[in-house]
Structure formats: C-alpha cells, structure tokens
Amino acid sequence: MTTVDLPLLPLGRGKDLDAERGVECPGDLPAASDPDLVARATAAKAALGSRVFVLGHHYQRDEVIQFADVTGDSFKLARDAAARPDAEFIVFCGVHFMAESADILTAPEQKVILPDLAAGCSMADMARLAQVEDAWAALTEAGVADQVVPVTYMNSSADIKAFCGKHDGAVCTSSNADVALEWAFAQKPDAKVLFLPDQHLGRNTAVLQMGIALDECVVWDPRQPNGGLTVEQLRDAKMILWKGHCSVHGRFSPDVIDELRAKVPDLNVLVHPECQHEVVLKADLVGSTEFIIKQIEKAPAGSSWAIGTELNLVKRLADAHPELNIMFLDRNVCYCSTMNRIDLPHLVWTLESLVNGEVPNVIEVDPDTEHWAKVALDRMLALPGKSHKD
C-alpha cells in the first residue's frame, strides 16, 4: 500500500481534500452547544478527579475554556502538562501540533488526547515533511545547505520539528523568534536561516527585530520547481522564508487599520506577529497572545484597542474589560475554524469515554520523531534571555 502524505484536516472525511482549511468567515462565532452538556462535562470531570488535566488554548470557545484547568498558548500548555506527571490523561483543547508537543514533553505513560482528530492547523499543514526534504535537497544542490540553519515555529508538526533537530536547527515561539534567529545566525559562518512554516513571523522578526533588509528575505514556495527561486537568489538570501501563513492572522489588512484610525481617536492597534508585514508596520504594538493579554490587562480605562488576533480571544478580552473600547481588527468576523472544532459535545464525549475506561483520540509521536523534535525543543529551551512563552 502506498502511503500518501496528506494534511491532517481531511482525515476522516474523505470528501474534499482542500476543504476545511480554516478560511471561511461565517459571520459570527459558532452558536453555543446544548447547555445540558455543561452538567455532563462537570460530572465526568469530577469523576475523573486528578487523573485528568484539561488544557485550553486561548483561541478555544468559552464553552470549552470553562473546563480548562489551565489556559495559555501552545508552549505554555505543553509545559504545564509536563509539570503534572500525576495526571494520567492530558486532554488538549487546541489543535493537533499542540497535542504532539504535549506528548513530546510529557512522560511516556501519560496519554495526550485531542477531543477532535480533525482539529488541525492550516499553517502547520503548509509545511509537509516531504516538501521540506525536497527543499533541503534543492538547497544542497545549490551549494548552500551547509550554511543553512533550519528554525521552525512551534506551530508546526512534530516531524518538521524533528527535521530541524536532525539538521542542527531549533524551534522558536512568537516570543523568542528574535533570540532563536540570533542563535541561528551565530551557528555558522555566513549563516542563512530556513524559517518554517510562517513566512510572516519570519519576515517580521528578521526585518523589524534583527535589522535584516527585506530584499535579503526570499520566499520558498513548495509548489514551485526549486521553490520558485534561482540559485543566485538562494546564495544572496539571509532568510529563506517558507511560504506558509496563518489563515486567521493572515486576513488582517492595513487598510482596516487606516479606516479604524480615521474613525476612532487615539486608537491603539495591537497585533500578533503572524500578521502580514504591512499590518505589523502600521500597528502600535506587536506580540504573542500572552503579550496581547498583558497589554489589555494594564490598559488605562477608557482607552481604545483594535486587536489583530483570533476572535474568541478578542471577544473574551472585550467581555472581561468593559472599561475598555475593544474591537476586532477585521471587517469580517472570522475565527480559527479548526480550533473551534473542539466544542462541548467533543469534550463531553472525551471525558465520558475516559470515565467508562476508554481512551479515545490519543496523540502519540513515534520515538524517533519524538527524540529529534525534543533535540530542537531543547535547543530553544537553552536559548538565553527571554521567557519562552508563545
């Protein structure tokens, strides 16, 4: 049987392999699930007690977040899980690559569970191992691979992290991408970085934090022969950015910033570095989800904020801070549709299955991939300075 390297999202559906990639804007957040499920989730979680630890990513729905033992970004959650070795089951309310990272960082006997296996990430799906291996072969052919240090964003599959581990590279988060790049450029004479899979985080960090010129950044398009680049372009580049992006953060556009600034006096524009470079250039503040939350928590009453990150988080911040004027930085209401696959029915099904002695949807990274991914993660953890929060 031939193994086909398909992205995760279509698994179990088999209809339209290009569908469900998190790009629809349905107009509002999904409706809340049947409220009776709240009592069932509460009962199942109580029955499991300390055997279960529920992690909730910031972009999850309110109906799921209420059952989270901890909330955070992907890396914080993986570390929180590792700090709870007594928990038999780690229920990860987030997306697939996050559950993989939790599996890598937790003890072998702990089971990491993703309540819906189709909760993938369109950005992580944009860099497949076979594509990255092809790119590496082309870089070798062009005579530049010896100079290249691969760095992958946390938002990538375990096999891409393992690829970086094997090729003397590292993982980074949106908080420490600058430190990771500094480290990477110090690894080899005339080093170049292959940055996976988010071109925007790579470009924003390289240009705005490292002072690298825009024209020293080239984009490797895995769908084009030789990435769509000439050997000369590869030789001249400092940053080889993988052509991937987040389908939520990639939507924000600079004209909406202009429009809102014209309407709202003293507007503060706060965006995530996964946004396009043109958006980041126009923003007042740029940072990770944890940074965004901190800025809002310390904002003076009466101040106005347009926030460019996932809608569930923006709405939750607006609800928690009625003293602020918080708005979403997009004309259309758009959330991460894959994150939102984890809903109360899936959570109840997961918890009740565990109560009944069944362990569903276990995410298990194979030992070789886990070893090399951990090498890349450990290199990140050894980086100096900053906290490693995403």
Q: What is the DSSP letter of 276?
A: -
What SS3 class is residue 321? coil
Q: How far apart are CA 240 and CA 218, in angstroms?
A: 5
Judged by CB under 6 A, which of 9, 123, 139, 271 binds ligand SF4? 123
Q: Which of residues 56-85 bind ligand SF4 (CB under 6 A)?
A: 59
Residue type, 242: W
**Total interface residues for ligand SF4 by CB under 6 A:** 14
Tell the smallest beta-carbon distance from residue 23 to ligand SF4 (Å): 9
84-93 per-residue burial string, b: 16 or more CB within 10 A, e: under 16: beebebbbbb
Cβ closest to ligand SF4, residue 8 vs residue 144: 8
CB 8 within 8 A of CB 125: yes
Single out the residue of 137, 158, 96 nearest to residue 220, CA to CA. 137
| DSSP secondary structure letter of residue 173 | -
Footprint on residues 285-344 left by ligand SF4 (CB under 6 A): 310, 336, 338-339
Give the shortest CB-337-to-ligand SF4 separation in angstroms: 8
| 227 is an interface residue for ligand SF4 by CB under 6 A | no
| DSSP H/E element including 239 | strand 239-242
Under the binding rule (CB under 6 A), the answer on residue 247 touching ligand SF4 is yes
Give one word for 291, left, alpha or beta, with left for phi > 0 and alpha for psi -120 to 50. Answer: alpha
Q: Please identify, using beta-carbon distances, which residue of 98 and 348 lies nearer to ligand SF4.
A: 98
What's the token pair of residue 325? 């004027």
Q: Counting contacts by CB under 6 A, is residue 390 touching ligand SF4?
A: no
* Torsion angle in degrees (nearest 10) through CA of 14, 19, 21, 24: -140
| Least gap, CB of 382 to ligand SF4 (angstroms) | 25
20 binds ligand SF4 (CB under 6 A): no
Instruction: Return d(Cα 365, Cα 114) in angstroms, integer.
Output: 13
| Among the residue ranges 107-115, 141-149, 226-234, 240-248, the one whose residues contact ligand SF4 (CB under 6 A) | 240-248
122 binds ligand SF4 (CB under 6 A): yes
Residue holding tokens 């918890």?
Answer: 351
C-alpha 281/C-alpha 149 separation (Å) is 27
Residue 122 CB, nearest approach to ligand SF4 (Å): 5
Residue ranges of the annotated binding site for iminosuccinate are 57, 74, 153-155, 174, 272-274, 289
DSSP state of 300: P
CB-nearer residue toward ligand SF4: 164 or 246: 246
248 binds ligand SF4 (CB under 6 A): yes
Residue 121 or 293: the one with the smaller Cβ distance to ligand SF4 is 121
- Of residues 129 through 188, those in contact with ligand SF4 by CB under 6 A are 155
Binding site, by residue number, is 57, 74, 121, 153-155, 174, 246, 272-274, 289, 336
Structure token digits, residue 170: 């590292």
In whole angstroms, the minimum distance from the beta carbon of 94 to ligand SF4 comes to 8
Residues at the contact surface with ligand SF4, assessed by CB under 6 A: 22, 59, 95, 121-123, 155, 246-248, 310, 336, 338-339
